[in-house]
C-alpha cells in the first residue's frame, strides 16, 4: 500500500469517522429491515424503496468517503451524525410512528449523538429527529398512525434491537481496553528511564521515600557508580557509553532479581533498594555482584576500565527524611571511590568495606 493510500487511515482526525463506519453500516442496514416491512405492508412506490436502498446500503460508504475528503473530518462527521438523525426521523414518519420501531430508532440515534457530543449533541439530535419526523410526515404522505406494530414489523425490528447494541458494546469494550493499555503504557513510560529501561530517578526516589516511611523494616539502599565512565565516553564516544549503561542495567536487573528495585539515579549512577535485606546481608550480596560484573570490554586494542563502586546505607530513627538516607549512601559511595574504586562500602559510624 502506498503512503498516500494509507494516510487517511492513520490520520487522527478521522478517528470519529472510523468509529462510526461499522455502526452506521449495521445500524442503517438493520434499520432498513424495519422500514422495509412497513413499506411492504403499505405497498409503497418505487421512489421510497430506492431512497431506502440508498440510505440503508450506500449511505454509510458515501459518508465515510465524504469524511476522508473533508478539511475538518471530526466536525464533518458530527454533522453527518445529525443528518443520520434527521433521516431517521423521516423514516419514523414513513412507518406511521409505529411504537416499537420508532422507539428503537429514536433511542439508538439519540445514543449515538450523546456518545459523541454529550448533552449538547443530544439536544441538536432531538431537534434533527423532530424536524425529520415532521418533514417526513409532510413530504412522504406516510400511512396513518400505526401505534401497534404488525407481526412483520415486530420481527423486522428484532435484529436492530439485538444486534446493534451488541455491536456498540463490543466497540466500546475494545476502545476501553485500548485506553487501559494506553494508560498502562504512559504510566510505564513516566516511570522508566528511556535508555536503560530501569526506573527513572523520580519514580525510584518515590519508592525510596515509601520504604523509608515504612517503619524501617530490614531494607538497604545502595548507590552504584560505573568507574572511569567519563574516560570511556571521552575515548570511544557516547554511543559506546550508552551501550555500557544498557549492559550494566541488564546485568543489575538479572543479577538482583525481581525483588530488588533498580533505577537509574543519574548519568552512570544506579540506585538499588533491597527490601527485607539487612545491611550485612546486602554487603555480601553486592560484593558478590561486583565480582561477577563482566570483565572490561575490549574496544580495538584498548581495555575499557569499567568496574563498580557501591555505597550502602540503612534507614535509622535519627534520620529526618529519606534525603538523609540517600545522603548516607552517597557518602559511602564517595568513600568507595576515594579508597580506590571497585569496592563496596557501607555507611556506619565506623565505615567499613567488603
User: Are residues 321 and 283 located together in one domain of the fold?
Assistant: yes
pLDDT tens digits along 213-241: 887 679 999 999 999 888 888 888 888 88
Give the domain-ending residue among 188, 210, 232: 188
Give the domain-ending residue among 188, 209, 241: 188
Taking alpha carbons only, the member of 232, 258, 234 closest to residue 245 is: 232
Q: Kindly give the residue spans of alpha helices, DSSP state H, lying in 260-321.
A: 279-292
Q: Could you tell me the CA-to-CA distances from 275 to 167, 216, 279, 331 in Å, in that order?
A: 48, 10, 10, 21
Within a domain: residue 238? Answer: yes
Return the H-helix or E-strand segment holding 309: strand 308-313
* Rounded Cα gap, residues 352 and 335, in angstroms: 10
User: Are residues 7 and 68 located together in one domain of the fold?
Assistant: yes
Q: Could you tell me the CA-to-CA distances from 102 to 96, 107, 163, 314 in Å, in that order?
A: 9, 8, 17, 72
User: Are residues 19 and 119 located together in one domain of the fold?
Assistant: yes
pLDDT for 3 equals 41
pLDDT for 351 equals 55
pLDDT for 354 equals 56
Q: Which three cell numbers stand for residue 207?
A: 519508592
pLDDT for 295 equals 60
Domain count, the chain: 2
* Rounded Cα gap, residues 78 and 82, in angstroms: 7
Q: List the beta bridge partners of residue 2.
A: none
Q: Could you tell me the CA-to-CA distances from 46 to 40, 138, 190 in Å, in that order?
A: 11, 18, 61
User: Are residues 214 and 128 located together in one domain of the fold?
Assistant: no
User: Are residues 338 and 297 located together in one domain of the fold?
Assistant: yes
End-to-end CA distance of the chain: 62
Return the axis-axis angle of helices 59-68 and 73-94, rounded to nearest 10°.
160
CB atoms within 10 A of CB 283: 21
> Rounded to 5 degrees, what are φ and ψ at 300?
70, -125
User: Are residues 260 and 323 located together in one domain of the fold?
Assistant: yes
Taking alpha carbons only, the member of 259, 245, 248 closest to residue 207 is: 259
| 95: helix, strand or coil | coil
* Rounded Cα gap, residues 73 and 124, in angstroms: 19
Whether the predicted model's global pTM rises above the 0.85 cut: no
Ranges in the chain, pLDDT < 70: 1-10, 142-144, 146, 216, 295-305, 349-354
Within a domain: residue 196? Answer: no
Taking a C-beta distance cutoff of 8 angstroms, is the pair 336, 343 a contact?
A: yes
Taking a C-beta distance cutoff of 8 angstroms, is the pair 221, 326 a contact?
A: yes
User: Are residues 205 and 182 located together in one domain of the fold?
Assistant: no
pLDDT tens digits along 80-137: 999 999 999 999 988 888 888 888 889 989 988 998 889 999 999 999 999 999 998 8
Amino acid at each position: 500500500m502506498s503512503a498516500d493510500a494509507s494516510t487517511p487511515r492513520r490520520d487522527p482526525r478521522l478517528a470519529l469517522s472510523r468509529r462510526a463506519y461499522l455502526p452506521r453500516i449495521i445500524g442503517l442496514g438493520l434499520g432498513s429491515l424495519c422500514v422495509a416491512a412497513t413499506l411492504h405492508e403499505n405497498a409503497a412506490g418505487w421512489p421510497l424503496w430506492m431512497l431506502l436502498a440508498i440510505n440503508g446500503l450506500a449511505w454509510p460508504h458515501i459518508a465515510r468517503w465524504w469524511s476522508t475528503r473533508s478539511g475538518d473530518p471530526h466536525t464533518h462527521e458530527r454533522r453527518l451524525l445529525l443528518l443520520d438523525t434527521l433521516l431517521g426521523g423521516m423514516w419514523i414518519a414513513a412507518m406511521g410512528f409505529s411504537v416499537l420501531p420508532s422507539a428503537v430508532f429514536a433511542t439508538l440515534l439519540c445514543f449515538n449523538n450523546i456518545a459523541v457530543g454529550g448533552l449538547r449533541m443530544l439536544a441538536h439530535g432531538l431537534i434533527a429527529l423532530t424536524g425529520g419526523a415532521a418533514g417526513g410526515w409532510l413530504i412522504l404522505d406516510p400511512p396513518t398512525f400505526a401505534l401497534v406494530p404488525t407481526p412483520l414489523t415486530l420481527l423486522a425490528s428484532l435484529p436492530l434491537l439485538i444486534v446493534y447494541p451488541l455491536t456498540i458494546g463490543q466497540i466500546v469494550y475494545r476502545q476501553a481496553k485500548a485506553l487501559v493499555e494506553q494508560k498502562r503504557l504512559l504510566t510505564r513510560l513516566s516511570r522508566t528511564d528511556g535508555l536503560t529501561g530501569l526506573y527513572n530517578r523520580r519514580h525510584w526516589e518515590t519508592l525510596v521515600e515509601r520504604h523509608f516511611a515504612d517503619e524501617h523494616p530490614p531494607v538497604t539502599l545502595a548507590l552504584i557508580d560505573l568507574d572511569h565512565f567519563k574516560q570511556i565516553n571521552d575515548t570511544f564516544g557516547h554511543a559506546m557509553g550508552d551501550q555500557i549503561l544498557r549492559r550494566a542495567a541488564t546485568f543489575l536487573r538479572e543479577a538482583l532479581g525481581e525483588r530488588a528495585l533498580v533505577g537509574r539515579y543519574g548519568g552512570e549512577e544506579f540506585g538499588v533498594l533491597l527490601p527485607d535485606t539487612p545491611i550485612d546481608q546486602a554487603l555480601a550480596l553486592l560484593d558478590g555482584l561486583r565480582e561477577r560484573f563482566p570483565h572490561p570490554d575490549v574496544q580495538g586494542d584498548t581495555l575499557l576500565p569499567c568496574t563498580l563502586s557501591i555505597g550502602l546505607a540503612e534507614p535509622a530513627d535519627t534520620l529526618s527524611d529519606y534525603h538523609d538516607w540517600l545522603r548516607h549512601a552517597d557518602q559511602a559511595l564517595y568513600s568507595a571511590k576515594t579508597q580506590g574504586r571497585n569496592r563496596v562500602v557501607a555507611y556506619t559510624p565506623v565505615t567499613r568495606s567488603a
